[in-house]
Amino acid sequence: MKLSKLGLSMSLALGLSMGVQAADVEVLHYWTSGGEAKSVAELKKMLEAKGHSWKDFAVAGGGGESAMTVLKSRVVSGNPPAAAQIKGPSIQEWGEEGVLANIDPVAQAEGWDKLLPSVVSDVMKHNGKYVAVPVNVHRVNWMWANPEVFKKAGAELPSTWDEFFVAADKIKAAGMTAVAHGGQPWQDATTFESVVLGVAGADFYRKAFVELDPKALGDEQMIKALETFRKIKQYTDEGAPGRDWNLATAMVIKGDAAMQFMGDWAKGEFSAAGKVPGKDFVCMAAPGTAKDFTFNIDSFVMFDLGNKDLEKGQNDLASTIISPEFQEVFNLNKGSIPARLNLEMGKFDDCAKLSSADFVSTANANTLVPSMAHGMSTYSAVQGAIYDAVTEFYNSDTLTAKAAADKMVKAVAAAHN
Partner 1 sequence: MNISSKPRRSMGDLLPKLVVAPTFLVTLIFIYGFMLWNAWLSFSSSRMLPKYDWVGLAQYKKLFANDRWWVAAENLLIFGGLFIVICLALGLFLAIFLDQKIRAEGAIRTIYLYPMALSFIVTGTAWKWILNPELGIQRMVQDMGFESFRFDWLVNTDMAIYTVVIAGVWQSSGFVMALCLAGLRGVDENIVKAARVDGASMPLIYRKIIIPGLRPVFFSALIVLTHIAIKSFDLIVALTGGGPGYATDVPATFMYTYAFTRGQIGLGSAASMMMLMAVVAIIVPYLYSELRERQHGH
In the complex, which residues of this chain contact partner 1 (CB under 8 A)?
Answer: 3, 65, 68-69, 72, 75-76, 93-94, 97, 183-185, 188, 237-242, 379-381, 383-384, 388, 391-392, 394-397, 407, 411, 414-415
Q: What is the closest distance, in whole angstroms, from the C-beta atom of residue 346 to partner 1 in the complex?
A: 40
CB of 298 to partner 1, least distance (A): 18
Q: How many CA atoms lie within 13 A of 113 on its CB side?
A: 8
Helix (H, G, I), strand (E, B) or coil at 130: strand
Query: Closer CB to partner 1, residue 15 or residue 370?
Result: 370
76, 55 contact by CB (below 8 A):
no
Q: Which CB sits closer to partner 1, 34 or 241?
A: 241
Residue with smaller CB distance to partner 1, 61 or 105: 61
At 316, the amino acid letter reads D
**29: phi then psi, degrees, rounded to nearest 5:** -150, 165
In terms of CB distance, is 366 or 396 closer to partner 1?
A: 396
- Residue 56: phi and psi, rounded to 5, are -75, 135
Cα Rg, the chain, nearest whole Å = 22
Min CB(165)–partner 1 separation in Å: 23
Of 367 and 391, nearer to partner 1 (C-beta) is 391
Q: To 10 degrees, the CA torsion angle through 334, 338, 189, 143? A: -70
Closest-CA residue to 283 (of 338, 356, 232): 356
Q: Is the Cβ of residue 100 or residue 282 nearer to partner 1 in the bound state? A: 100
| Residues 6 or more apart whose Cβ sits within 8 Å of residue 151 | none
User: What does the alpha-carbon distance between residue 153 and residue 144 come to, in Å, rounded to a whole number?
Assistant: 17
Give the Cα separation of 235 and 321 in Å (integer): 42
Nearest to 189 by CA among 396, 409, 393, 403: 393
User: What is the nearest approach in angstroms of partner 1 to the Cβ of residue 84?
Assistant: 14
Round to whole Å and give the CA distance between 244 and 160. Answer: 26
Of residues 173 and 414, the one with the C-beta less far from partner 1: 414
Between 231 and 291, CB nearer to partner 1? 231
- Least Cβ distance, residue 218 to partner 1 (angstroms): 16
Q: What span, in angstroms and rounded, lies between the C-alpha atoms of 373 and 175?
A: 31
Q: Max alpha carbon distance in the chain (Å)? A: 71
In the complex, what is the shortest distance from the CB of residue 242 to partner 1, in angstroms, rounded to a whole number? 5
Shortest distance (Å) from residue 65 CB to partner 1 = 5
In whole angstroms, the minimum distance from the beta carbon of 231 to partner 1 comes to 17
Q: Which secondary-structure segment (H or E) carries 109?
A: helix 104-110
Q: What angle do CA 246, 287, 199 make, to 5 degrees?
A: 115
Q: How far is the CB of 168 from partner 1 (least distance, A)?
A: 19
**Whether the Cβ atoms of residue 336 and residue 142 lie closer than 8 Å to each other:** no
Please say which residue, 147 or 239, places its beta carbon nearer to partner 1: 239
45 or 416: CB nearest partner 1: 416
Q: 180, 269 in Cβ contact below 8 A? A: no
**Helix 220-231 vs helix 185-205: crossing angle, to nearest 10:** 140
End-to-end distance of the chain based on CA atoms, in angstroms? Answer: 23
CB of 399 to partner 1, least distance (A): 10
By C-beta, is 84 or 155 nearer to partner 1? 84
How many helical (H) and strand (E) elements, i.e. helices and strands, does the chain have?
19, 13
Nearest approach in angstroms of CB 237 to partner 1 is 7
